[in-house]
Structure 1
Amino acid sequence: MSDRKSTIAFVRDHMLDQQPPPRGEVGATKWIKENLFSGWFNTILTLVSIFVIYSGLSAIIPWAFGGVWNASSLAECREILDGAHAACWAVINERWRQIFYGTFFPASEYWRTHVAFVLLLVAIAPVLFDRVPRKLLIVTAAYPFLMVWLIWGGSLWGPLAVAAGFAVVFYAAKVAGRYTGSGLSALIAVVSGLIWWFAIGPLFVWALDSIVPLFPLREIQSRELGGFVISMIIGVSGIALSLPIGIVLALGRKSDLPLVKMMCVGFIEFFRGVPLITLLFTASLLLNYFLPPSVTFDLTVRVIVMVTIFSSAYMAEVIRGGLAALPKGQYEAADALGLDYWQAQRLIIMPQALKISIPGIVNTFIGLFKDTTLVFFIGIFDMLAAAQSIRANSEWNGITWELYIFIGLIFWVCCFSMSRYSQWLEQKLRTDHR
């Protein structure tokens, strides 16, 4: 009996080779099984969805990719198609300049918009990506003035004088801060800047232009701007200006000073409760009634101001949500370090609040950029107005889908790029490492 027991092995004396997992438990097969065919109901939904997608694509793909790209009119397109149901992309090939630059922008000056767009990419690169050389921030600071000069033209002395006004504000605040409190020094700085911009600066520009104009360009009126160019001008200006204004409004709404808080709350609630189209009509029609007869206020500038104010109200609420999401311990930690209010906001509170608010901030930016199409209703010839103008032409009267699909694709590319960047930034700033 003992000999028999000794021949029984209770411990394996050699290892088995590793076997691959079943095909149905890994990779795409597993994902399809768990997400598309996990039960009878999901299986039915999957099959119905496949049928709907197939039906749509089977009609859209031949229409889109079987279209005509070379024709001078809709009638010629139809002759080439000979009754086939396909797109007439020739309208894009023929009128893309009108969609991008507008109807009235002079063709000889297209290069200025190209240079402005390239400089825009260079200017925002160091702001969006930390690996870009910091020296390019000089281009970021100079871009607003260069953009105005490139788009509207005239002598470069004008933008330089406006830039000099900010230097006047800085040095006035610095000098006044040595002898007065922060509140009074800020007031002195603002007054000094206004005096320079509206009184002294124009005299300097007039004198210098009469002596030696600096790189003069052909002047472009706002009514000549249009298409994608005007959408970019209004959108980028509104995005760049609404974020800092929204931060100030959010801090003002959480302020302990009753007057500051009441003013910020009133501003935010008023502009959030008024449709943007109403503000645009106000900028277009009513604002001139409140200005002196001799004062001319450019329509594009008025629209940028109204769009910025409207977006700032929404931005303030997004940032206030980020501030409210911070635990109280962060504020207490700033106090324990002996930081004053502005140091705490700059070094501890605001960076964390902005990180939390990234999705809401980008969502507001996307909404602002798409809302630039509303300027069509106040007589600014954006891409929608260009499409209407093209359709009103006898050569392309009757065409619809191709124009609006192309314009929609342009907006989608811009908005999708902003969305992807926000997702990348969220992943880059993650600190939980889960």
Structure 2
Amino acid sequence: MIVNDKNIPSRPAPASTRGIAGWLRENLFSTPGNSVLTFMGLAFLVWAIPPIFQWAVLQADFIGVNKEACTSEGACWVFVSARFQQFMYGFYPDTELWRVNIFFAQMTAVLVWVLWDKMPRRTWGGVWFLTGFPLTSFILLHGGFLGLETVETHKWGGLMLTLVLSLVGMVIALPIGILLALGRRSDMPAVSSFCTVFIEIWRGVPLITILFMASVMLPLFIPGDIELDKLARAMIGISLFEAALIAEVIRGGLQAMPKGQYEAADAMGLSYWQGMRLIIMPQVLKISIPGIVNTFVQLFKDTSLVLIIGLFDLLAVMQAGITDVNWPNISIEAFVFTGFVFWAFCFGMSRYSVALERKLDTGHKS
């Protein structure tokens, strides 16, 4: 009997499973049913894309200052270019727009510093994001300090207001949501009951109702010498509402943790908070990333509801623009532009969460 003691070199994969042909076969033409669906999808794209592209690009008008500049049969993007400043800054004074631009630049730099894993000293970036960035942003946008002119919050609007509400809501809601989730699972009946009641009440009421109540009733529960403007009331309402949603996401992650992880923390002699900080919560946050990001995406879109209390975010500014008699029949272009802006931010958050999941993946896949 002859035994081969040499390694046989690996053979290349069949040509039908490699390259573009292999990808098409695996993803689009793996079965007869998938092949039919693929051809139907291609037929729909061939039917739909050319006229849309022709309307949005080939026959569109891009340059001008008023509706008279739109002379073709395509989209009138002149509306977007003419009101772009209002879409971005709301009713912020023209002479002070440089302050908003610095806010945008600082926000971008800080987010890159915190979220990009190749940046040095990311911990310091996180500390600045939670402390220095909110303070400097408030000084820049509101003024009243260092010789800056005061700009009341009712003049804030557009994309700037949307980002302010979203960032504040995300930063405040996550830690409060974690504490609420831990409190709901607490062995102390008083703490568990309080957190349960809080979560069920806040997440069971529509956000639009919470914003209205925050605007009307919140001043009744604070001392008379403290004055909260509409923006501060909206921030409080949005943050507490999202915290209740985050709490349920985190509670789901806590319940998914094997009991052995808690026992391991106890066996190492760790206190409750040490075990949560070092062993439990890192794993819970990792498996809860999809739910957390989904809640943040919902928060970003829900900021458009602040119109109910008289604040004009990006969507509200757009809706005010299409009611202008000088811009008739412009609603399609306005909604397409606004929808694209919201989609771009939400898609960016979604893709970052996917990248973060891959980075933190430890092989626990369903």
User: TM-score with structure 2 length normalisation?
Assistant: 0.91
Which secondary structure state, in structure 2, belongs to the residue aligned with residue 260 of structure 1? helix
* 1:128-163 superposed Cα distances (whole Å, 9 cap, x missing partner): 2443222445532211111111111111xxxxxxxx
What are structure 2's unaligned runs of at least 5 residues?
A: 3-8
Query: Residue 101 of structure 2 aligns with which residue?
Result: 114
Residues 334 and 289 of structure 1: CA distance in aligned 2, closer, same or farther (over 3 Å): closer
**Of residues 188, 196, 200 in structure 2, which corresponds to 1:269?**
200
Identify the residue that residue 231 of structure 1 maps to in structure 2: 162
Q: 1:316 aligns with which of 247, 266, 279?
A: 247
The one-letter code sitting in structure 1 at the alignment partner of 2:82 is E
Confirm or deny: 8 A CA contact 2:61 2:69 kept in the other structure. no
1:306 paired residue number: 237
Aligned 8 A contact 2:114 2:125 in 1 = no
CA offset digits 1:227-256 (Å, max 9, x no partner): 001101100000011000001001100111
- Does 1:412 pair with 2:325? no
Cα distance, 1:312 vs structure 2: 0.3
Q: Which residue of 331, 342, 349 corresponds with 1:400?
A: 331
Corresponding residue of 2:84: 96
The offset of 1:386, in angstroms, is 1.2
Q: Does 1:242 align with 2:242?
A: no
Question: How far off is 1:280 after superposition?
Answer: 0.6
For residue 29 of structure 1, report the CA deviation from its aligned partner. 1.6
Q: Could you tell me which amino acid in structure 2 is paired with residue 31 of structure 1? A: W
Q: Is the contact between residue 153 and residue 218 of structure 1 (CA under 8 Å) also seen in structure 2?
A: yes
SS at the partner of 1:351? helix
**Aligned equivalents of 2:293 and 2:30: distance in 1?**
36
Q: Which amino acid aligns with 1:274?
A: V
Q: Per-residue displacement from partner, 1:346-375 (whole Å, max 9, x unpaired)? A: 111111111111111111111101100111
Residue equivalent to 1:123: 110
- What displacement does 1:426 show? 0.9
Secondary structure of 1:117's partner? helix
Query: Does the 8 Å CA contact 1:152/1:220 hold for their aligned counterparts?
Result: yes
SS of the equivalent of 1:132 reads coil
Q: Compute the TM-score of the two structures, normalised by the length of structure 1.
A: 0.77
Instruction: Map 1:4-403 onto structure 2 (within 5 A).
Output: 23-66=15-58, 67-77=60-70, 80-81=71-72, 84=73, 86-102=74-90, 104-134=91-121, 135-137=124-126, 139-140=128-129, 141-155=131-145, 215-291=146-222, 294-403=225-334
Q: Give the equivalent residue in structure 1 for 2:6.
A: none
> How much has 1:412 moved relative to structure 2?
1.1
> Which has the larger displacement, 143-152 or 19-28?
19-28
Task: After TM superposition, give the deviation of residue 433 of structure 1 in Å.
Answer: 8.7
Query: Deviation digits for residues 171-217 of structure 1, max 9, x if unmatched?
Result: xxxxxxxxxxxxxxxxxxxxxxxxxxxxxxxxxxxxxxxxxxxx121
Do the aligned partners of 2:88 and 2:158 also contact (CA within 8 Å) in 1? yes
Tell me by how many angstroms 1:294 deviates: 4.8
Provide the aligned length of Structure 1 versus Structure 2: 355
Aligned equivalents of 2:355 and 2:201: distance in 1? 34
Q: Which amino acid counterpart does residue 128 of structure 2 have in structure 1?
A: V
Q: For residues 39-82 of structure 1, what are the alpha-carbon distances to aligned partners after superposition, in whole Å with 9 as ceiling and x for unaligned?
A: 443333222211111111011110111210112222331xx21x
Larger radius of gyration: 1
CA-atom RMSD, angstroms?
2.3
- For 1:136 and 1:424, the matched residues in 2 are separated by 20
Q: Is the 8 A contact 1:283 1:306 kept in 2?
A: yes
Distance 1:25 1:355 in 2: 34
Structure 2 vs 1, CA of residues 43 and 296 (structure 1 numbering), >3 Å: closer, same or farther? same
Q: Conserved in 2, the CA contact under 8 Å of 1:122 and 1:139?
A: no
Secondary structure at the aligned position of 1:114 is classed as helix
TM-superposed deviation, 1:392: 2.3
Residues 122 and 136 in structure 1, CA contact (< 8 A), matched pair in contact too? no
What's the % identity of the aligned pairs? Answer: 44
Deviation at 1:291, TM superposition (A): 4.4
Matches of 2:364 and 2:179, distance apart in 1? 32
Q: Measure the CA separation in 2 of the matches of 1:371 and 1:21.
A: 49
* Separation of aligned partners in 2, 1:51 and 1:137: 48
* SS of alignment partner, residue 83 of structure 2: helix
Residue 361 of structure 2 corresponds to: 430
C-alpha distance in 2 between matches for 1:233 and 1:221? 14
Shift of 1:296: 2.1
